[in-house]
Structures are given as structure tokens and as C-alpha cells.
Structure 1
Amino acid sequence: MAGIALPLQDFIASLDPSSLPKILQICSGVYFQGSVYEISGSEVSFSTGDLIKVIGIELQSVSCEDVANKETFELPVSHAGLFKVVPEQMPYSSVEEMMSLRPVGQESFLPFTFHSHTKMTLDTFTLGAGKALTVIAIEKHEGKEDQVRCHVKGEAEASAEVRIPLSSRGQFYECESEECYTLKEIMSSPFLRSRRFCLVKKTNCERVLVLSPVYQIQAIMNLRKNVLRFPSSLEVDVVDVSDLCKDVHFMTPLSLKEVLSRPDESLPGVVEILEEPHAGSLFKCNWLQGLTKRAHLVLHKKGTKAMALLSSMKGRKAQQFFLVSQQYGGRIRRRPRDFNSVYELYVASTQTKGLTVSVTRNCEEVEEEGLPGLSVGERLEIVSCTRMDLPGESSKKQKQSIEALLCHRVQDPDDVDDEEEEEEKEEEEVKQLDEKEEVRLPLYMQGHFVEVLGDNKKYKLSQLGKEFSLPLDVKVVSRDTELESDPLVGFPCLRIEGAMLEPTIQASFLDKPDYCFELPANWLSMSVCYTEEPLPWPDGQCPKSSVEWVTEVSEKFFYEFQKQRNSGEAPPPRPPKRDLSSSKSSKARSKPAKKSSKHQDKITPTEQFSAMTLNKKRAPAPPPPDGLSDEPPTIVPRKHLEVGGSAKALPNMYIKMNQPKTRGPTSDVTACVDSDHDYETLDESLASMVKSAQESVAFLGKS
């Protein structure tokens, strides 16, 4: 039998979500902002008599109506304000009537306070009018009348407990409660939703509100395939006809997760795509283009598959990402990993025991920062993470302790002399084991290292996941022969970022039932519905199919995967603060004296730099003083020399050389063509002048 016609808002507000699905019939309605299909993107409207099947409801917001002026507005469910229950103004004629309006499970809404408008006499106890009574519990006894146990305050803060029969009559009024509720708490209780509230503020607020939930309804129709979504505030009357329309066939849309929850007997089967994946999809594979609306798929089987996420190295080409099933049949060889910091070494050492790396770039030693010197080709064996003290500048300062990676320097086996005797080699190995050189690398230190591998074997993808920790650098050396084209072949290096267990559905297109691919249910958002179309092969003769084990995904997929995996990972450590004064003084002490004196003459004075700018030219040189003659200056005698009156200083031959002279004929001596030098020859007169000048200088020095 059909139910009573109710407004859609009232029906949905009183609906228990666990009772879904429900079949409703449209009775009448008024559309203010267009029909429901215009809201959801369709041009068709509801008609009287239409059947809709409600399959889900979701709370969207809360509608608030002012009782005084009928003004309405909406608040989000996450609204942080608190609300207080407004007491009802109408009196109750009996205690039983007042308590019957309390919600089921009354203990959760106790204590409850009320007062009587008239005086009450209870056996030997009399209560005055207006005395507040707080209900603590409801007592039920077999063969006796039910009573409410109440707490009452007397004079001088005295208190007592009384028991009032439910049949007591009079005029009872509800008292204001100090308890406050959030919108979520109010919407989750049918009893609270039927009450009136006022918003709790610092100032008094007399605005009385009626709160109503606004849901988004998900429904399907018997003549349409897509899912309808419309608000419950749509002004339309409906009637519940679920019992009368049990045989009406509705095409039920299913998500991939819902397909997985169906029994195994539902597969294989043919489905139709109702809602295709979103435009910003996480996948870039070739079969994604075929997942269009109204396309048909064959769902073969479902299960949980172990998969690995692989990425290509960053380079000239755009980086690519692949989701690969562990059933991939290609052969893979390990590749050494590159590390650009000590922190990356530490993270890798926690996943790989006995990690050994080789230094690929020199690192200069910085003593005050605790950075050791490393040379290209040195091998380091990672031992553990420890702490080290930075060298302090003075004894008064407390040394700073930082996290560091303890390593052992390992001798390269190629450096050992092949001609050494076996006994000497054994002794060297024993000494190296007893006295290993320890190196401490701060975690914040930047460096360049490459992993040293000990094997050159070929593995399957499933073997790598069991024997080694991820991430892992690999190269595909032989393709999977079962694939038409293996996209992993040709990359010089691929990195296995991580592994996952994914629920998947093996599917194929209707025109190519033997070409299958994997649909990851947790990463692909689409809806399908089962059809009555037969399978594209004879009954019981399922063809042998090839499965595409490699699926190319987008960069967005990679970042979403990293976000889920590294949600709680701590950031790398920061380097300690530098003491600029100590670093400058240490650098000044460590600088050799010869080097400073060598470059002393090349330093330009500050005054010269002050006259040089980008916008102004350098100031011209000052003019020569007056009275300057072209004659060479006389040489002032040395102070310690006693020069007589007749003694004269010899003229400086170098000064005379600066005077312009005509160059005489060159010597007949010819340069040797075969000589490596390119010296110029001097004529005889110039050679004699140089010789006499040298003798004059030597004479002055002796005197």
C-alpha cells in the first residue's frame, strides 16, 4: 500500500540511511530555479507519476529558518558555532506527556529540568510553584506505577530527591538548559532536529531558529541510465511506493569498487559505461581512450594484484611513470643508485644492509663545520647513524653535537698489487679489519656518491621485491615476449619507486575480447551497469587472452602515490648555524704567508675603486707641475756616503734610454730558424750602453 504524500525535504529528513534503497513516486511540485535535470545538467524534467529509486543521501548543509520573520539561510555542516535548545512555550498537562516527547533512549538526554506552574503535594512532601525539578532517571517497577526520580534544591543550598509518578497532572513547563550542541550533533539526532535553537554568542541573541538538514540525493530512474543528483530542498511531493514496485527494473549504476563487492558469479559479464573517467585522469595508457560513455566492456575476473611503480630518470625527455604488475615477464638487471647528499645515503642504508658507495666528486675539508675531505674513487661502507661534536673555537663555548653517518673507508681491490705474496695479502686484510679508518659524514653534508654493486644477475620483477629494498635502480635487459610492445625496453635506467597491493578488474573491449588490461579500482573513477548482452565467445569456451601488464600513468598519479607513502616522513636535517667570526679567523690563519705576499702588489687600493663607477668615467690624471724640464733628474747621494765637494754622481744611463733616438742599422747576425726561442738581437752601440749602465750600478753598490 502506498504511503502518505510528503514534501521531499521532510521525507528525506526522516529517512534512515540504512533502509535504502527506496522507490518514490512524484505526486506534484513547484520548481523555482528550474527542474531537477537542469540543475544536474539534463534538459528533461520530472513529471507526475515518475518513479525514482533513491540509492544514497549525503548531508550537504543546514537550512536555518527564523521563526519570527520566516527568513531562511544556509550554514555549512562544519560551522563552528554552538547552539542551545529553546524551551517550548506550551505547557504539558501531565508528567507522562512531557516525558513521552523525549527521544528514545532518554538516558542520553538526561538530566532534564522542568517546573510546575502550581503547587504539588507528594505524600508527606509539598513542592512550591515554580520550583525547578531535574530528572535524574526514570524508574520502572513491575506491578507499580512508573516514576521519575528528580533532584530539587531547597533553601540554603540544601538538596533532596523526590519521586514523582508519571500520572501526575498539572501545568508543567520545560526549563532552559545550559547544554550546547554543534550542527553535526543536532543533525545526527532526530529528537534534536525537531527542536528550536538559538545561536550561543557573547551577547544575548533572541533569534529563534528551526534547523533542517539539506541532503544531496543520488537516485536512478527506470527509463534512464545515468545517476541523478539533486538537493532534498527541491519543492516536490513524493510518496513511498517501495512495497508496490518491487518488480520494476531499474538499471543500477555501479562503481568499480561496487563491482568488486559483488559475488564471483557475476563475472564474466558485459557492462556498459555510464560515466567515463574524468578528464584529469591519472592514467596515460592507450586503452584509456576507449573508456567512453556508452562503450561496452567485458569484465573477465577480479582479484588483488601486487604491482610496482616505476619511473624513468629525469633528462632531456619528459619523465615517464609506469604501473607494472609483478607478473611482468621481462628480465631486469640492477643499476647502481646515485646519491646527492649524505641524508640520501642514510635513508638508503636503513633499507639496504651493508651499503657501499664510491665518491664521484671531490669534497674539500671544512674543519669548523665537521666536513671531511673526500676524493674521487674512494669507497665508503655505511655502518650506522651516530653523533659527532663540531670543533669549538674556545673552551668556554659548548661544542655543538650533530647527527652523522659513520662510514669505513674500504680499499679498492684494483689497488692491490698483483705481485704481492698471498701471506702479505692475508696480513693486510687482517690489519684492515682490525684498524678500519672511520669517517663521519654530517647528515646535512652535500656530496656525490654512486652505489657499488656486487652482482650482475638478471632478475624477475617479483624476485627484486623479495630480495632488495625499494627504491631500486634497474634496467630491463630482455623484453616480455607475451606483450605486443614492451614500453620498458630502451630506458637506460628505471627506478622502482615502491610496491602496492591493488584490487583490480581484468577487462577487455567487446570487439577485442582476447586483449585484456587491468583496471585499478582504487585509482579509476567510473560507473558501469550490467547489460543482458551475451559474452563474445561460445558458452564455456573462453578464449586465451594476453594481458597488458604495463600501464603508463601520469605525473599526478606518481605524486599522489608519494603523498600516501611519505605522509609521516621527517624532512632532512638542516646544517648548523655558522660562526662567521670564527670561520674568518680560521681561514686567515690557514692561508699561507707566501700566497698573501705574492698577490699583495695586485690589490687595488680602495681609493681607486671609489672613483670607478658604471655610470661615470674615471677622473683624468692631474696635470704635471710647473717648471718640469725634459732633463733627467740628478741622483741624490746616499746618506751614509761621505761625498766630497769634487765628487759628482754618474748620470743614470736608463734615463737617457727613454729619450727618443733613431734606431741604427741592425746587426748582420741572423736568427737561427731551427731555434725554439724568438729573441731580438741588439746592435753594438745599444749593447755597449747596457754594459756601461750595469757597470755603473755595480760601482755604486760597492761604494
Structure 2
Amino acid sequence: MAGETALPLQQLIASWDNKCLPKILQVVSGVYFQGSIYELSGSEVSFSTGDLIKVIRIELQSVCCEDISNDDKFELPIGHTGLYKVVPEEMPYSTVEEMVSLRPVGLDSCLPFTFTSSSKMTFENFTLAAGGALRVFSVEKDQVRCHVQGQQEVSAEVCIPLSSRGEFYECESEECFNLQEIMSSASLRSRRFRSTKCERPVFLSPIYQVHAIMTLRKNVLKFSSSSEVDVIDVTEQCKDVAFVTPLSLTEVLSQPDESFPAVVEILEGPETHSLFRCSWLQELSKGRHLVFHKKGTSARILFSSLKSRKAQQYFLVSQQYAGRFRRRPREFNSVYELYVASVQAPGLRVSVTRSCEEVEEEGLPALSVGEQLEIVRCGRMELPCGSREEQRQSVEALLCHRFQEPDDGDDDDDEEEVRQEDEREEISLPLYMQAHFVEVLKDNKKYRLRDLEKEFSFPLDVKVMNRDNEMETDPLVGLTCLRMEGAMSEPIIQASLPHRPEHCFEIPTQWLSMSVSFTKDSLPWPSDQPPECHMDKVTEVTDTFFYEYRKQGNSDAAPPPRPPKRNLSSSEAQRKSIKPPKKSSKDEKSKHRPDGSVPTKEFANLTLSSKKRHPAPSPPDILDDQPPPLAPRKQSAAEVTIGKALPNMYVKREDSKAKVAADVDSDHDYETVDEDLFTMIKESQENVKFY
């Protein structure tokens, strides 16, 4: 490559546009010595002498403005609103064609322009003296049409051949150009300008962001054309040099169908924290090869497993899945969940699984286990929480028909429906009410996945009854309940590993990020015998994928309603109006409880120094052949409040012969305990076992 003239990178690229690309450059010299690192616009660039750079695209970033008088350089944004005039060249043009070729092409303001001749010019019937001006107003195929102003204000229109020779000088024109117009014309970029606000001549050149590929680097480099590197253009000499072109999965989708099937090399693998949990994901590492069979679109259903002690699982299931499903009743933990489900499936019927007590102030009705509700519609109800009409609050509620739990008799289904129809009752459930329901299903049919998607809305609870026999292992079999969360149709690339080209899987391009390059390797099968592909129909995904999917689908979903604020004034008045019941003297002087026990606090106060105490409780009779039942030593706080103390079950003894006589003369309601009772208590405390 001797004899080639090295040019600064900025000067060479300033004369290009995207139509002439790609170009191959070789680094000759500059500030980038071997092993150097230069950081430009967030891209790490390393240039060494002899490196080959394949420029594939340039993007205009700004304009370099160089003051010719003092060599000052500064950058102007591409949106700069200043206007510039062309500075006429001092050197003469030898032909009219040379002068015209330097005019901008395609700009409305390029014509007319004026030039002069240093010598006399003679036309058919007209002679122009030296220094006369010619104004060009059109450029034709091989001539220019001009308007000339002769002596004594005589004017004429003449045609001058482009091949006319002489000394021609360009006159300064009043036409102005902005930066966009100057940068879009190769002829204008080579001219000098002066600003309409400044007389000093300047030279304007574009600064590009260069997109390039290097032979030793497999990612696209982005650097500024103002980098201080001297290069030579070796495009013609290096036509056969193979440059790796990295492509993202989205860019692979834009490739023509004729590019498939092909063998690709992974340049950058997926992120370590992936959204997928499958066997083929481990094979997608840097440097590995894949077979891309074709591109397309795949329709899949997102499933989630039932929450249990095991970690919850999530699956993407293809519509080609051949297993059979049976519907399972859904569970709801609030009336709002019922409302959401009823919107998607009108006529929803549920059964109450947990009883609820009535709270009249908040409008919560009483519900009993086994009662069935049929959702009618969503409306509003008034809460009786205020004493006056204007104080009552109106809230959203679900209007339902309530039916009693069906009998287990031998009544026909038709008779049962008629009887329930007569016994139905309308109730309103506030949307904020917390309750527990289960869906009532009469359907025992087995469905294919496509049929479920057509006939029902999501979410839908199902269970796999028959596995897909075409799959080696079906991960959906054995799961007690699966919830169909939603359907998605996304672009995919059908791929396989070279050593197992018949076992294919789908790479979702919107959820997986990686960089590949097409290779010239031959396909791993005979050209006339393509393999019969077997697709992975079930792909396990992580909870991160599930949350991202829910975030995209429910970004505008309204939150459940809150319970209404209570009327504090009415609640306080109601609380004050309720007086606690007075204790009767009979209760205060009762000697024993109905179960024969005494309060724990009083039993703990029994000491040997006390003279008048309550008698010790008598434990129930325990058979000799049965161990005593275990009971906690300390009773709960509720028992202390209520006053029910459990008798000591750990000591077996004979019935006490102690007799307690009430002290009638005493002013206090105390009882005396004889010495045998104290002996028995002491023995019990020594023999008791604490757990």
C-alpha cells in the first residue's frame, strides 16, 4: 500500500455520505499507539497502527467551524440558525464546466449566480468586453444559459458551452445558506463561507458519529470523526477481508427469509439474571453456535401454579400443546375479586367457604358456609351508619341472589333448581368486604388448550388430566392446579443446537437480549434431507417474567375500593349509650363456678399463712389404665379474662375428705381451709410436672 496518501480521519470522512458506504480504512498513525484506550461518547475505542476499520454508517452530530484567519476551531450545533454566504475563490477557473461543478446541486438557492471573464468574449451577434458580468440562470446538458449586460445598457440572453476555456472568476453572491443546506451538499462543504454577521472567512466541515466494525472486535464501534487518527482508504485492496457483523435478535428478525436456515455464532450471551428457566438457556453462551431455522410469530399461554409450600412455578405453553385440561373452581378472598371475575364471566356462581358475621354499621351481611351466591350486577348501596338521612354513605356493592345449600336428597336437578329459584334472596355485598368463596362448576368436560382460550376468559383455573404424549417429559402433569393468566403472541426465532438440529426451541426476541453473527458454516444435515423438527411446547419462566407481564397488562387497573370512613360522632354516642352491666351480690358471693373451678388469680393467692381461702379444686376422675391428658400449665389471656381456670391434670389423688365451713360471723366472704387441705396442696405442688 505504498504510495497511498494518509489523511486525517476528519478530512476524509467529511467528504463522504451514507450512499458511498461501506468503506474500509487502515490506521497509519495518530495519538492511538498500540494498546491505547480512548473513551468517546461512552464507547471504548482502541486503535493500533495497521488496524482495519470498516465504516458502515455515519450520523451527523455537529459542525466544525474553522476560522481561516487565526486557525481557531469550535463546534456549532446542527440546529444553528445562522446564515452564511459563499466566499468567491481567488484563483480563476479554467473552464465554465469547472466553475459550475462547484455549485451546489439540488438547492433552489444555487441559481442564479454571476461570474466574469478576464478576456473578451464574442457570441453570435454580441460581444462581451473583458470584466463583463454573466448571470447564469439555468444549467443545461452541455451549456449554460446566461443573461449578459453589455455596453449602453444593452442586454441579451446567450448560451455558453461548458467546454469554453478562459479565465473565469466567480462574483460574490447575495444567496445565503444555513448549516443543514451546506452539510447536505458535497460541493458546498468544500467552499469557504462568511457569516452574515461577521466578515472573517470560515471553513465548515461536518463532525460525524462513525459506526464501524473492526476485524478483531465483534461489536459495533461508535466514535467521532474528529478523532486524531491518520488513515488511508483501502476499500479496493481489502474487498475480500471478512468483517463480522453483529446483529441483535431484533435485527435478525429484519433479515430476509432467504437468510434462513443458517448457522450463527453467539457474540454476547443473555444476561445472567434471565427471565427464563429452561435447559437450552445454558447453551446460549459466548462463542457457541446455533442453528436458526426460521423466524415467525408464536401464540402462547402464560400459566402459574397454585401457591403452596413449594415455590410457585410459571410456564409459557404453546397452543400446539396436545394435553387435555379440566376446569377447576376458582377461589376468591374478597367481594372485589368476585366483581372482577363476574365482569369477565357473567352469571358467575359461588359458594361461601367461611362464615361471616353481620356488621350492620358497615353494611356487611351475614354469610354462612354452604350458601350459594349468583352474581347479578354491580350497583350501589346505602350504609346505615348515620342517624340522619344526609349522613348516610353510598358505596359500590355487588348485587347477588343468595340460595341455601342444596340438600343431598334424591331430588331431580330440575326440581332442585325450581326450589332454589323460589327460595332465592337478594343481598348486596360491598366491594370492600373480605370474604371467602369458591366457584361452583357443573362442567366436567375435558378441553384442549385452544378450546379453553376460545370459550372462556382469563384467569381460568384448570388441571391437566391427560399429558402430551409427544413430549418426553410434561412438567404440567402432577400439578394440582394451574391458572391460565393470559395469552400472548410474540415474534420468535426457531432455533436448535448443532448436535441436535431436530430438537427445536423458540427464542422470544422481546424478552431475550443477545448478539449474534451469521457464519458461512454449513448446516448440520444433508442439503436434501432437512430434519423433522420437534418443538419444546412448554417453557418455564421465572417470577420476574410473570411480574413484568402483569405490569404491562395491568398498568391502568384500578385498586380495590376502601371501606368507608366511620362516623366517629355517632359511634362515640352509641358507645356511651351502652352501659356495662352491674354485678349482682349473688355473683360476688358465689363460692364455686359451674365447672367446680376457681379463678387462677385467687388460686395463686393461696398460701400457708392465709387463714381464710377458697377450697382447692377437685380434679376429675382419671382411669388407672389411661395416661392423664396433657394440658398447658398457663392458661391463655382469654381464660384469665373470662375466669375459667383449668384444674390440675397432672396429679392423681384420692378424693379429699377436707370439709370447708363458711364463716358466717365474718364480715368478709372468706372460707376456712383445714390442715389436711394444705397438706394435699403441698404434695400436689411437689409432684406436678412442668412442661
TM-score range, shorter chain: 0.5 to 0.7
Q: Contact 2:63–2:206 at 8 Å: present in 1 too? A: yes
Q: Partner amino acid for 1:504?
A: I
1:539 corresponds to: 527
Offset of 1:469 from its aligned partner? 0.8
1:459-496 deviation line (CA, Å, top 9, x unaligned): 22222211111122222233222222222222222222
1:45 corresponds to: 47
Q: Which of 412, 419, 440 is 1:428 aligned to?
A: 419
Root mean square deviation of aligned Cα? 5.4
> 1: distance between equivalents of 2:13 and 2:434?
62
1:406-427 deviation line (CA, Å, top 9, x unaligned): 2221343x337547x9998676
Structure 1: tracts of 5 or more residues without a match: 78-82, 94-99, 108-138, 147-168, 178-184, 197-209, 602-657, 662-671, 694-703
1:616-644 deviation line (CA, Å, top 9, x unaligned): xxxxxxxxxxxxxxxxxxxxxxxxxxxxx
2:125 corresponds to: none
> 2: distance between equivalents of 1:416 and 1:555?
43
> 2: distance between equivalents of 1:3 and 1:401?
88
Q: Partner amino acid for 2:441?
A: L
> 1: distance between equivalents of 2:87 and 2:38?
47
DSSP 3-state at the match of 1:557: helix
Q: Contact 2:354–2:368 at 8 Å: present in 1 too? A: yes
1:252 corresponds to: 245
> 1: distance between equivalents of 2:107 and 2:181?
17
2:605 corresponds to: none
Distance 1:486 1:429, change over 3 A: closer
1:359 corresponds to: 352
Q: Which of 400, 405, 419 is 2:393 aligned to?
A: 400
1:340 corresponds to: 333
> 2: distance between equivalents of 1:85 and 1:47?
40
Q: Contact 2:183–2:206 at 8 Å: present in 1 too? A: no
Q: Partner amino acid for 1:228?
A: V
Distance 1:546 1:90, change over 3 A: closer
Distance 1:682 1:455, change over 3 A: same
Offset of 1:315 from its aligned partner? 3.1
1:132-167 deviation line (CA, Å, top 9, x unaligned): xxxxxxx99xx9999xxxxxxxxxxxxxxxxxxxxx
Q: What percentage of aligned pairs have identical amino acids?
A: 50
Q: Which of 257, 261, 266 is 1:264 aligned to?
A: 257
Q: Which of 518, 540, 546 is 1:558 aligned to?
A: 546
Do structure 1's residue 24 and structure 2's residue 17 form an aligned pair?
Answer: no
> 1: distance between equivalents of 2:521 and 2:172?
71
Pairing of 1:250-649 with structure 2 (within 5 A) = 250-391=243-384, 393-395=386-388, 397=390, 399-412=392-405, 414-415=406-407, 418=410, 428-429=419-420, 431-432=422-423, 436-586=424-574, 596-597=580-581
Offset of 1:359 from its aligned partner? 2.0
TM-score, normalised with respect to structure 2: 0.62
Q: Which of 223, 226, 229 is 1:231 aligned to?
A: 223
> 2: distance between equivalents of 1:69 and 1:408?
90
Number of matched pairs: 529
Distance 1:57 1:577, change over 3 A: farther
1:446-469 deviation line (CA, Å, top 9, x unaligned): 222222222122222222211111
> 2: distance between equivalents of 1:463 and 1:144?
77
> 1: distance between equivalents of 2:408 and 2:217?
77
Offset of 1:13 from its aligned partner? 7.7
Q: Contact 1:20–1:56 at 8 Å: present in 2 too? A: no
Distance 1:293 1:171, change over 3 A: closer
Offset of 1:10 from its aligned partner? 6.9
1:367-408 deviation line (CA, Å, top 9, x unaligned): 333322222222221222222233352436354332222222
Offset of 1:289 from its aligned partner? 1.0
Offset of 1:256 from its aligned partner? 2.5
> 2: distance between equivalents of 1:357 and 1:57?
65
> 2: distance between equivalents of 1:314 and 1:187?
65
Distance 1:679 1:16, change over 3 A: farther
> 2: distance between equivalents of 1:225 and 1:286?
30
2:650 corresponds to: none
> 1: distance between equivalents of 2:542 and 2:297?
22
Offset of 1:43 from its aligned partner? 9.9
1:618 corresponds to: none
Offset of 1:54 from its aligned partner? 3.4
Distance 1:476 1:13, change over 3 A: farther
> 2: distance between equivalents of 1:514 and 1:465?
29
> 1: distance between equivalents of 2:655 and 2:235?
112
1:624 corresponds to: none
DSSP 3-state at the match of 2:218: coil
Q: Contact 1:311–1:319 at 8 Å: present in 2 too? A: yes
Distance 1:91 1:393, change over 3 A: farther
Q: Partner amino acid for 1:352?
A: A
Offset of 1:32 from its aligned partner? 6.5
> 1: distance between equivalents of 2:105 and 2:396?
61
Q: Contact 1:320–1:552 at 8 Å: present in 2 too? A: yes
DSSP 3-state at the match of 2:436: strand
Q: Contact 2:32–2:46 at 8 Å: present in 1 too? A: no
Pairing of 1:122-201 with structure 2 (within 5 A) = none
Offset of 1:521 from its aligned partner? 1.9
Distance 1:584 1:64, change over 3 A: farther
> 2: distance between equivalents of 1:324 and 1:188?
57
Q: Partner amino acid for 1:314?
A: K
Distance 1:326 1:315, change over 3 A: same
> 2: distance between equivalents of 1:7 and 1:394?
90
Distance 1:427 1:326, change over 3 A: closer
DSSP 3-state at the match of 2:399: strand
TM-score, normalised with respect to structure 1: 0.61
Q: Partner amino acid for 2:30?
A: V
Distance 1:545 1:15, change over 3 A: same
1:238-262 deviation line (CA, Å, top 9, x unaligned): 5666677665543333332333333
1:163 corresponds to: none
DSSP 3-state at the match of 1:563: helix
> 2: distance between equivalents of 1:187 and 1:598?
99
> 1: distance between equivalents of 2:65 and 2:584?
87
> 2: distance between equivalents of 1:69 and 1:552?
64
Q: Partner amino acid for 2:513?
A: S
DSSP 3-state at the match of 2:484: strand
Q: Which shows bigger deviation, 277-286 or 364-373?
A: 364-373
Distance 1:308 1:241, change over 3 A: farther
Pairing of 1:40-79 with structure 2 (within 5 A) = 45-48=47-50, 50-55=51-56
Distance 1:312 1:582, change over 3 A: same
DSSP 3-state at the match of 1:329: coil
Distance 1:376 1:293, change over 3 A: same
> 2: distance between equivalents of 1:520 and 1:674?
71
Q: Contact 1:309–1:321 at 8 Å: present in 2 too? A: yes
DSSP 3-state at the match of 1:561: helix
1:337-393 deviation line (CA, Å, top 9, x unaligned): 222222222222221122112222233333333322222222221222222233352
> 1: distance between equivalents of 2:655 and 2:64?
103
Q: Contact 1:225–1:253 at 8 Å: present in 2 too? A: no
